[in-house]
Structure 1
Amino acid sequence: MSADTLARLRLIRTRSIGPISYFQLLQRFGSAQSALDAIPDLARRGGGTLPRIPSPAEIEREAETVASLGARYLICGDPDYPALLAEVDTAPPALIVAGDVALANRPCVAMVGARNASAAAVRFARMLAHDLVEHGLVVVSGLARGIDTAAHDGSLDRATIGVIAGGIDIVYPPENDRLQRAIAHRGLLVAEQPPGTEPRARHFPYRNRIIAGMGQGTVVVEAAPKSGSLITARLAAEYGRDVMAVPGSPLDPRAQGCNLLIRDGATLIQSAADVIETLRPFGRDRVAAPKIGFEGPVGTGDASDRDRRAVVELLSQSAVATDEVIRQSGMPSALVQTVLLELELAGRIDRHAGGRVSLR
């Protein structure tokens, strides 16, 4: 492991540093080691305690575990890192993968849906996934019960990617043990969390952003309103990807989410041909080069105590968009981003999906 990769992993594994702050630190200080050296001063300015930074020995032990599991790291910026995922502002700085890494940079479509799916929906999802991989697409899903499992079952023989919420050595749900192992050997298994991490509720939205970010589009097959599947669909729309949904009976609560998506503009899907037709224009006129993580303005100067107080006074325990904080503060965007970075390193704020922040 190179010294730069070691420093990057130490930065990534520092608890108070998320994807946004990781990329901001790299952009501001030029290297992971320089960012590590600057963290104590930044945390002090933010009015909090110094976050615990893992030692080199801890990261080396983690790397040994990853290797012993037959897995490897993909650092954002590496040639093998999924190019579409790298376009997302909150792209994971590092992934741990096992299997055929080349699948991640082939044309992918995400498939998600209800865990308590109907038998008809499970059968349809399995057939749809099979037909999609027969046409050269890779199916990405989350190894959950119901639709996710059916999507992997239908695509396992050709091209499937499973994105899990915990460590790459943790099986969840337990009944998918054989399926998860098969994906690691015949497809691609992807995890963001370090080995040994048991999946918690907070991990699943992180997993959902990876699923949405890897796909050219997302297909939803049965989903209740406010379900995790709809979160994945919303993220896909935010990333500029196609959102597709399979319609269902208005009498079935499991179909309400899909019907709402279609009402709001999602493409109605009845077959693999519909998915392929929807995705076919993807890539045309895409003149912008894929970005590697955060590209917003980051200040290089110091914020004053007055600047920090002004930003903190605008925050509460309810998440608010960073753009709204910038607008109401009347301060330059780069200065607000600097203050938020200091507050995050000090453990005083949390970042949420959609570029929102809240007081911890």
Structure 2
Amino acid sequence: MADLVYTPAERAAISLDALRLPLSVQEKLFPYDAGAMPPDVTGECFRAAVRGVLTKEEYAKWEGALCGGEWFEKLLREYASRGVACVTRFSHTYPAGCLSLPEPPLVLYCEGDVSLLSVQKFGVTGSRRIPPHLEKLAEEYARGIARKFAVVSSSAAGGDSAALRGALESGRAVCVLAEGSLVAGPACNLSLFARIRERGLLVSEFPPSFHAPVYRFSARNRIVAALSDVLLVVSAGSKSGTLITADLVHKLGRTVYAVPCSPGVAAGEGCNALLKEYAKCTDKLVDIAAAFGINLTETEPVPLSEREQSVLELLRGGPAHSAALAEKLGLQPQETIVLLTLLEMKGKVVSLGGNRYSLV
């Protein structure tokens, strides 16, 4: 990835976050106030506040970060080599939803398509101990929803992982990790994370190598909630962490959907409770599709190579012989025949016989 250029405020936030200061200390240095301007990190007032919470060695590192110190530049090179982009509370790409949280993360460590922070996102979540039929349902919902929205969920096994898998089949997925991306689990999801890096976005509030204590794992729920413009709960037990996500989304004034379950099904007790309180009911994908104008029958456009597109452009002038096409494209006749055969298979051209072709 290209080297990213960070502002002084961003550099101050990234460097302080790398020192892993307690949240209470971070908030003293960067008190959150909606609409507030970034602090003057080069001013003496801010520097004095930083000196008051850091050791001499830490302060030297932090001060160097503002003016190209080796420790910080090495850190940024390490992040860049791993494809990590740092989105701070002072970055224009920082998601507005996170600013609605009582304790918005100071830095989000992102791997993949950072532009997905700015598009509409639909949260799809479910419990870890999800019955097989509901796991399939989570995949189905996410597959359909991803036709219009980026689907966001956590890295947990079970319903959340099913939602991410389904989303990748037809669109984009945003996965919120419980710890740093280099150490995040579960191990069974490592291949899924790799796919999301390529076709979506991994997000963590922790630096890549940071091992978060287990009691902090539920903190990712607030980020899933903040990123979700709408939320669907496919399964949730009576004490499921999924309910934390749903409650946060509801408190943020956004719509929550839940799938009803038969009485006595433990994995659905939480969903039924949500339906009694504030959630809207859905038991099939068409409910969501109708509410949000998602076309479930439209087929995805067939991807074409540059050469294939060049062939189609030439054929827009009318039917042509493969030899004439080869000459205009600067290709060998056999290469052109292969391209035309591929385009036939993709339903773009038709053979007229005698090595002549036209658009369908």
TM-score by length of structure 2 reads 0.69
Select 2:150's aligned residue among 133, 138, 150: 138
Q: Secondary structure at the match of 1:249?
A: coil
Match of 1:226 in 2: 239
| Cα 1:247/1:279, change in 2 over 3 Å | same
* Aligned residues of 1:29 and 1:35 also touching (Cα < 8 A): no
Query: Where does structure 2 lack aligned partners over 5 or more consecutive residues?
Result: 1-5, 294-360
Q: Shift of the alpha carbon at 1:84? A: 2.6
Q: Shift of the alpha carbon at 1:30? A: 3.2
Q: Secondary structure at the match of 1:202?
A: helix
Q: Deviations over 1:303-340 (max 9, x none)?
A: xxxxxxxxxxxxxxxxxxxxxxxxxxxxxxxxxxxxxx
Q: Secondary structure at the match of 2:46?
A: helix
Q: Secondary structure at the match of 2:226?
A: helix
- Counterpart amino acid of residue 22 in structure 2: S
Q: Does 1:150 align with 2:162?
A: yes
Match of 2:49 in 1: 38
Match of 2:355 in 1: none
Q: Shift of the alpha carbon at 1:40? A: 4.7
Match of 2:94 in 1: 81
What is the rounded CA distance, in whole Å, between the counterparts of 1:173 and 1:21 in structure 2?
A: 34
Q: Does 1:99 align with 2:112?
A: yes
- Counterpart amino acid of residue 218 in structure 2: P
Decide which structure has the larger Cα Rg and report it: 2
* Aligned residues of 1:111 and 1:139 also touching (Cα < 8 A): yes
* Aligned residues of 2:10 and 2:90 also touching (Cα < 8 A): no
Matches for 1:1-360 after TM superposition, within 5 Å: 1-12=6-17, 13-18=19-24, 20-24=27-31, 30-33=39-42, 34-41=45-52, 55=62, 56=65, 58-134=71-147, 136-157=148-169, 158-275=171-288
Q: Shift of the alpha carbon at 1:203? A: 2.6
Q: Shift of the alpha carbon at 1:191? A: 1.1
* Aligned residues of 1:14 and 1:52 also touching (Cα < 8 A): no
* Aligned residues of 1:246 and 1:270 also touching (Cα < 8 A): yes
* Aligned residues of 2:135 and 2:159 also touching (Cα < 8 A): yes
| Cα 1:51/1:275, change in 2 over 3 Å | farther
| Cα 1:222/1:25, change in 2 over 3 Å | closer
Q: Deviations over 1:211-268 (max 9, x none)?
A: 0000112211111122211111111112222122111122111110111111112111
Match of 1:345 in 2: none
Q: Percent identity?
A: 28
Q: Shift of the alpha carbon at 1:59? A: 4.0
Q: Shift of the alpha carbon at 1:185? A: 1.0
Q: Shift of the alpha carbon at 1:58? A: 4.6
| Cα 1:263/1:245, change in 2 over 3 Å | same
Q: Secondary structure at the match of 2:23?
A: coil
- Counterpart amino acid of residue 48 in structure 2: D
Q: Shift of the alpha carbon at 1:7? A: 1.5
- If asked which structure has higher relative contact order (CA below 8 Å, sep 6+), I would say 1
* Aligned residues of 2:79 and 2:85 also touching (Cα < 8 A): yes
What is the rounded CA distance, in whole Å, between the counterparts of 2:83 and 2:226 in structure 1?
A: 25
Q: Secondary structure at the match of 1:140?
A: strand
* Aligned residues of 2:151 and 2:174 also touching (Cα < 8 A): yes
Q: Shift of the alpha carbon at 1:144? A: 1.1
- Farther-moved stretch of structure 1 (11-20 vs 248-257): 11-20
Q: Shift of the alpha carbon at 1:14? A: 4.7
What is the rounded CA distance, in whole Å, between the counterparts of 1:234 and 1:51 in structure 2?
A: 42
Q: Shift of the alpha carbon at 1:82? A: 2.0
Q: Deviations over 1:13-35 (max 9, x none)?
A: 45123564454178699323443
Q: Shift of the alpha carbon at 1:51? A: 12
Query: Where does structure 1 lack aligned partners over 5 or more consecutive residues?
Result: 281-360
Q: Shift of the alpha carbon at 1:52? A: 6.1
Q: Shift of the alpha carbon at 1:277? A: 5.6
| Cα 1:169/1:273, change in 2 over 3 Å | same
What is the rounded CA distance, in whole Å, between the counterparts of 2:41 and 2:258 in structure 1?
A: 41
- Counterpart amino acid of residue 32 in structure 1: V
